Each structure stands twice: as C-alpha cells, then as structure tokens.
Amino acid sequence: MITSQELPESIEPTTPAISVEHLTVSYGAVPALLDVSFSIPQGQLVGIIGPNGSGKSTLVKAILGFLRPDIGSVRIFGTLVERTRKLVAYVPQRGSVDWDFPVTVEEVAMMGRYGNIPWWQWGASKHDREIVEEALSIVRMSDFRKRQIGELSGGQQQRVFMARALAQGARVVLLDEPFAGVDAATERAILNVLESAKKSGRTLVVVHHDLATAAEFFDSLILLKQRLFAFGTPAQVLQPELLSEVYDGHVRAFEHLNRVVQEKAK
C-alpha cells in the first residue's frame, strides 16, 4: 500500500526529484564519496561522469538507499530515501545479473508489480497485467514476452529492467552504464526509451562512460571523483581544465568534445 505521502500526485512540481546533502559513503575506512551535495529537478535526464573508481556506482547505490551514508542524506521528492523506495528503481549494469534460473521477460517486468499485490492474492490482477504490457511496449520488448531472460542480449535485458522500473511506478530511475559495449542501434534504442520515460515526467540518472556523447545525451551532468567536481549543463561541466584535473590529463579528443559542446549550445 502506497501511503499518501508517497503518491506522486501530492508532490509539488518544484520539489527536487533527488537532493543529496553532504553525502559521505565509505567502504571500511576509505571514503568512496566525500561531502557530495547537489539537487536534481524533476523530469531531467542526468549523466554521472568520472574516471574508473570515482564513486559513480557508489553514488547510484546511495541514491537508491542500498548503501547507508556515514554522513549526509539522500531525499527523493523531499522525503528520506528510506521511506520512498517504491518511487526509485534501478537498472543494473549489463552482465552484473546472473540468470541461472528460468524466468521470462514478462515475469521480470511483473516483479515491478509484486510490491502492489496483496499477499493473499495469488497472482497478478488484470490491472497489473495491463501495466506490465504497457511497460513492455514502451521499451519495445512485447514480442519477447515469453522469452527466457537469459537468452537475450545485454541491451535487451536492460530494456526489460527498464520495463520493470516503469511497471513499478518508479518516478526516478537510475541506470548504471547502460551504453557500455552496445552497438549504435542499441544505443539509439536505449536513448529512445530514456527520452520517452522523460516525456512521461520521470527523472533519469545515468552513469555514463563516454565523454564524447555526454553532451548530446544529457540535460545536465555530474562530474565526480570522490568529491563533486561540477554539476550543471554539459557546456558548464565539460570544460577542458576541469576534465584535465579530474582525469589527470588523460582526456582524449578534447577538441572534438569542445566542438560538440559548442554545437549543442548554439
């Protein structure tokens, strides 16, 4: 049962979808994130960039409430994430899920609904099935509904996770490197799914590896290396001096990047 406080209808459009305040998260004694603060308005498509080991996945897991902060807080629509979990969904990194048990595409998407099915009800209602059908159609996986998830490509598996997130009714969806190692057609397909989720008012946060496409894909960017180095529009964040500092000068194609950012700003 979703409490009224958690219902999206009760949320003011000006309330930030995500606000992170003074977030510090450590594994043992070593902080992976240090005093990170930012706030993301509703309905944005946001990229998280930064070198390997800079804390991108840690930030995603902290926003989801999977990791407990040492210091600081994460709020989703103004409420501590611990109390708004249903509004947030996760699309894990490709290949990070081991499908050694048989489960179909439809069943994975239906997992998004389980939270809404009372324990005494044996099976999904017609309404649940309709929602799952719609979610699968948004990610264009309806034709695969009876397929075993283990038989699909990584990109297709991610689209199914996206369907599960949509079926859950999540208003904030976090994706960890959805574009890593996919071909151009899959990249386009994922981007289309993100765009349609955004059009429906959802807020999307995406860990992204490729600086060259960051300006093209996202409304705003978070540049991370343990600390928050920059948060703003791609033009504000993709500054050669900033990138050089964060990537220790190892940024190839600075000029190409500059061109992309300038084109985008026109």
Q: Which residues bind ligand ADP (CB under 6 A)?
A: 27, 32, 50, 52-58
CA distance 198 to 196: 5
Residue 157 interface partner, choices ligand ADP, Mg ion, none, CB cut-off 5-8 Å depending on type? none
Q: Phi and psi dihedrals of 27, rounded to 5?
A: -105, 110
* Site pattern 27..56 for Mg ion (x: CB under 5 A): -----------------------------x
Residue 186 interface partner, choices ligand ADP, Mg ion, none, CB cut-off 5-8 Å depending on type? none
Nearer to Mg ion, 93 or 258 (CB): 93
- Paired tokens of 201: 């008012």
Provide the residue type at 160 as one letter: V
Residue 52 interface partner, choices ligand ADP, Mg ion, none, CB cut-off 5-8 Å depending on type? ligand ADP
Query: Min. distance of Cβ 113 from ligand ADP in angstroms?
Result: 30
The DSSP letter of residue 145 is: T
Query: Min. distance of Cβ 241 from Mg ion in angstroms?
Result: 25
- Judged on CB neighbours under 10 Å (0-12, 13-18, 19+), 82 is exposed
CA distance 136 to 150: 17
Nearer to ligand ADP, 58 or 168 (CB): 58
Nearer to Mg ion, 84 or 157 (CB): 157
Write out the DSSP string of 199-238: HTT-EEEEE---HHHHHHH-SEEEEEESEEEEEE-HHHH-
Residue 169 interface partner, choices ligand ADP, Mg ion, none, CB cut-off 5-8 Å depending on type? none
Map residue 91 onto helix, strand or coil.
strand
Query: Min. distance of Cβ 179 from ligand ADP in angstroms?
Result: 14
The DSSP letter of residue 146 is: T
Nearer to Mg ion, 56 or 113 (CB): 56
Nearer to ligand ADP, 27 or 122 (CB): 27
- Paired tokens of 234: 């791609």
CA distance 142 to 102: 18
Nearer to ligand ADP, 77 or 161 (CB): 161
Query: Min. distance of Cβ 64 from ligand ADP in angstroms?
Result: 13
Query: Min. distance of Cβ 12 from ligand ADP in angstroms?
Result: 32
Write out the DSSP string of 52-71: TTSSHHHHHHHHTTSS--SE
57 is a site residue for Mg ion (CB under 5 A): yes
What are the residues binding Mg ion (CB under 5 A)? 56-57
